[in-house]
Structure 1
Amino acid sequence: MNWVAALPMYNVTPALAADWRVLLDHVHRRLRPWLDARGDTLALVDPETSLHDFWLRDDLLLSQTCGYPLVKALAGRVQLVTTPVFTVDGGASGNYHSVLVARAAANVTSLAQCRGHRAAYNTPDSNSGMNLLRSAVAPLAGGRPFFASMIETGGHLASLQALQDNRADVAAIDCVSFAFVLGHLPHLASGLVQIGTTQSAPGLPLIASKRVPAEGIEALVGALADAVAHDRPLAKRLKLDGFARRPLADYTGILDIETDAVERGYPRLA
């Protein structure tokens, strides 16, 4: 098998994209005995199709997705490999949350005060940008639309830019992405205030095709752990503290977050 791999989710800047590629290079080297024994190869690629299509490739050895599609569109169609543990607030044990940020000019200090304001979110299938925000709003909404308007931006960086451009007032940003923004793209956080955080959820998982055998999954887990342990400067730049073997059942809690919002009469972010 000619396998492919890519880690597309936290490529906040070209420098960080290069560092994630270095991590994959380390993993590739450590996987060579397993690959060679099978007569397999591995290519590190940039996804040329939609991420959803890329995640469903039969030849996918390793990639990263969001927990929401993992238990929705990808359910039963990919394998969970492991979950990164990040050295950011809320990142213990492979968890994460979203940071609620608002334009300082909006003069709000809490999500409750954002009723009637404009919200930005990245994509409808995002746990961090949509599902967790919907969950935070649901108890406040009373079964009615909460925001004056919504804008779908396509990504967390674009949501922050929408706040900067005065096209939106509030957004929920994955805490890992926001930590990278503060360190690498501080202009996107300028003039913004943090008004809270969402509840926690399991972090963005690493996945593989269903065609990867069990010993291949174990080889990947070992290679990832070794790569982080042996290149600590790289791990520090990527804010990686290792990986957690979270059971798939942990991720079904993301569906419970969705269900709770629906039962509160707030099935759609609005």
Structure 2
Amino acid sequence: MNIASLPWYDFPEIKPATDSFWHFFASRLKKAGFHPPDFLTRNISYKHQWQSPFLLFSQACGYDVVKPFIRDLRVVATPCYNVPDCLDHNYSSFIIVRSDAKIESIEDLYHKSCAINCQHSHSGANILYFVVANYVKNCTNFFSRAEYSGSHENSIRMVSENKVDTAAIDCLSYHILKKFRPQLFKKIRIIHRTPHAPAPPYVTSASRSELEITTIREILWELNEAPQMQPIFRELFIREIKYIPFEEYFHILDMEKIALKKYIQTGENN
């Protein structure tokens, strides 16, 4: 049985819109000869889903598609988000601290603690280390400790509750959460906006044929012009869905290489 999921940005406040997106998209997939599931899968780890040859559709981090799951996933298309700090098909992260913290710059984070949403997250981990590597001459033991939070929302909460000093939050998660849960941000401020990278792509199993991948991609493009999808797009903060060359995602690995080179040379990983 085919599997479909949309684990990125699946916040309760916009879950009905996410389901509506899938139901309309699935109806188009059926007409094209696919056998999509009636409902999105939310009770199985997305990492297990991504390794299944039955994966029909999902969304992953750009880091995932160029490194840990490069053999399991194929990029189908990229959503362009309609929020500040998203530029065309690219997004960025905000580096946050507590409002009352005596921290004004990246250099001020030296020997401070950070929250990381996930080890393989570009927006919450990779980009944070890249920014440090670019702004700080000596990265040796830069952070006093790093704690995994499990989500951007939890990272914000950990900073707000003074459990850690800083975190990198992807700009879409930041804007969605600030709209629906403004209380999370009463003690939060941004000290840095990071460079852009391609937004989390829509993916399918690498076992799919080129014809299947092309067909899924074309159906996604058709959603851009479907009148029924426009209110759903607005609720999901999507401006349009487009295809970009897969090679653009390797920019994320370029950032990682720069960060690793600086950290290794200065003894951070020793």
- Is TM more than 0.5 here? yes
> 1:145-224, aligned counterparts within 5 Å?
145-224=141-220
Structure 1: where are the runs of 5+ without partners? none
Q: Residue type of the partner of 1:63?
A: S
Q: Percent same amino acid among aligned pairs?
A: 26
Residues 47 and 54 in structure 1, CA contact (< 8 A), matched pair in contact too: no
Question: How far did residue 269 of structure 1 move?
Answer: 8.6
For each residue in 1:155-191, what CA deviation from the matched residue of structure 2 results, as whole angstroms up to 9, or x when unmatched?
A: 1001011012110121100111111011111111111
The residue that corresponds to 1:263 in the other structure is 261
Aligned mates of 2:121, 2:178 — CA distance in 1: 21
Q: Partner of 1:113 in structure 2? A: 108
SS in 1 for 2:169: strand
Alignment root-mean-square deviation, CA: 2.0
- Secondary structure at 2:175 match in 1: helix
| Larger displacement relative to structure 2 (217-226 or 180-189) | 217-226
Count of residues in Structure 1 that have an aligned counterpart in Structure 2 = 265
TM-score (normalised: structure 2) = 0.91
2:58 to 58, 63, 78: 63
The equivalences for 1:9-28 within 5 A come to: 9-12=8-11, 14-28=12-26
Counterpart residue number, 1:82: 77
Structure 1 runs, 4 residues or longer, greater than 4 Å off:
266-270
**1:61 and 1:43 mapped to 2: Cα distance?**
12
- Of the three residues 18, 35, 44, the one matched with 1:49 is 44
Which residue matches 1:3?
Answer: 2
Contact 2:263 2:269 in 1 (8 A): no
Structure 1 residue identity aligned to 2:109: C
Residues 222-262 of structure 1: CA deviation (Å, up to 9, x unaligned): 33333343222211111101112111111111111111011
What's the TM-score once normalised by structure 1's chain length?
0.91
Deviation at 1:41, TM superposition (A): 4.3
User: Contact 2:85–2:91 at 8 Å: present in 1 too?
Assistant: yes
Deviation at 1:149, TM superposition (A): 2.2
Aligned residue among 87, 90, 96 for 1:95: 90
